[in-house]
Amino acid sequence: MAEDGAGPVGAPDEIGDEMFFHKQELQFKATPAKPDALFARRLQEVLGGQYGEITVAMQYGFQAWNSHEPGKYRDLLFGIGAEEFGHVEMLAIMIAQLLEKAPIEQSEAAAASDPVLGAVMGGMDVQHAIVAGAGARAVDSNGNPWQGSYITASGNLLADFTANANAEMQGRVQVARLYNMTDDHGVRELLSFLLARDTMHQNQWTAAAAELRAEGREDLPVPSNFPLSQEYRDVSYQYINFSDGAAAAEGSWASGPTPDGKGEFTYLDAPGTSAPMPPATQPDERYYGTTPKPNIVEKAAGVVKDKLSTK
C-alpha cells in the first residue's frame, strides 16, 4: 500500500523519512472463493474506468501537488490520495486472483464442450491473458486505457472538493452495482470494504467543501474572487426553461433565495431574449474549407498569400 511521508530526508531505512514508501501489506484482506475471468473484467471498471481508483488516486495526488498553501486541506488530499493508491493495489490483486486458477487448456476445452460456458467466456477480456499474463491492466471494463483527462485538479479547492465528492459518489454507485453482480463471498467482502471507504470519502469531501465556505476561504459562485460586477448579473439567478415541460418550476432552484446567499431565483417559462445568427465565417483559403467562393478563386488567393508570406 502506498503511503506519503512528510519527514525530512534522512536515513533511507527509516519509513518516516521516505518521500514515497510502499509497504507490502494491504489495507484489507479479501480472497475470492473461485476464479472468475468474466467478473475480473467487470472489476476493471472500478480500477481503470473514469471513476475508478486510479482516477481518484491521481486526482487527489495532483490536487495536493498543485495546492498553493500548506495546512489541513493539503494534508487531507495527501492522506486520501495515498489511501486510494492502496485501493488500486487491492483491486489489481483481486483481479489477478480471479484470473489465477483458470488454465488456458482447461478453459478452452470446457468452452468447446459447453456452448453456454463458451458464450460466457466470450465476455472475457482476452488481453488479461495475452497482454497481462493473467493480471490486471490500467483499463476500464471495455479495455479502454485509463487516461489523465479523467482527473480534475484546478487549483481551486472548493471546485476540486466538489468534484471529489462527485467522483466518490459515481464510484460508489458502480461498486454497489458490482456487489450485486457476484455471489462470491470473498469478492463481496472487498466490495463491502470499498463501499464503506467511499461512504467516508463522500462525507469528508462534503465536509471539507462546507468548511472552506464557513471559514470564508472560498464561496459560491466559484471562483468567488472574480468580481461579480463583471458578469451579466441580469441573468445570474434566472431559471430559463428551455423545455416544453413545466414541472421544474416547482423546485427550490426556481424561486426563493440562492445557495450563495447573494440573490433570489426567478423563473422564466421560455427564453425572453434572442439575437440574430451571425453570418457564416470565411476562414483563410489555406484551411481548404468549403466556402461560397469558386475553387479557382480560393486557389488563386491561397497562392497569392503564400507568395506574400514571410515564412
187-199 mean pLDDT: 97
Evaluate if residue 77 carries a pLDDT over 60. yes
pLDDT of residue 310: 77
pLDDT of residue 9: 46
Q: Which domain holds residue 110?
A: 2-214
196-221 mean pLDDT: 97
Q: What is the DSSP string of the chain?
A: -EEE--SPS--TT-GGG-SEEE-S--SS----SS--HHHHHHHHHHHHSTTSHHHHHHHHHHHHHT-SS-SHHHHHHHHHHHHHHHHHHHHHHHHHHHHHT--HHHHHHHHHH-HHHHHHHTTS-HHHHHTTSS---SB-TT-PBP-GGG----S-HHHHHHHHHHHHHHHHHHHHHHHTT---HHHHHHHHHHHHHHHHHHHHHHHHHHHHHHTTSS-SSSSTTS-GGGS-GGGTTEEE--SS--GGGGSTTSSEE-TTSS-EEEEESS-----PPPPPP---GGG----SS-HHHHHHHHHHHHHH---
Do residues 174 and 247 share a domain? no
259 part of a folded domain: yes
pLDDT of residue 134: 87
- The 10s digit of each residue's pLDDT in 66-75 is 999 899 999 9
282-306 mean pLDDT: 91
Do residues 166 and 71 share a domain? yes
298-307 mean pLDDT: 91
Do residues 207 and 252 share a domain? no
pLDDT category at 171 given cuts 50, 70, 90 is very high
Do residues 19 and 162 share a domain? yes
Do residues 165 and 260 share a domain? no
Provide the mean pLDDT of the chain.
89
302 part of a folded domain: no
Q: What is the CATH number of the domain that holds 119?
A: 1.20.1260.10
> Structurally, how many domains does the chain consist of?
2
Instruction: Give the lowest-confidence range in 29-43, 78-92, 116-130, 163-177.
Output: 116-130
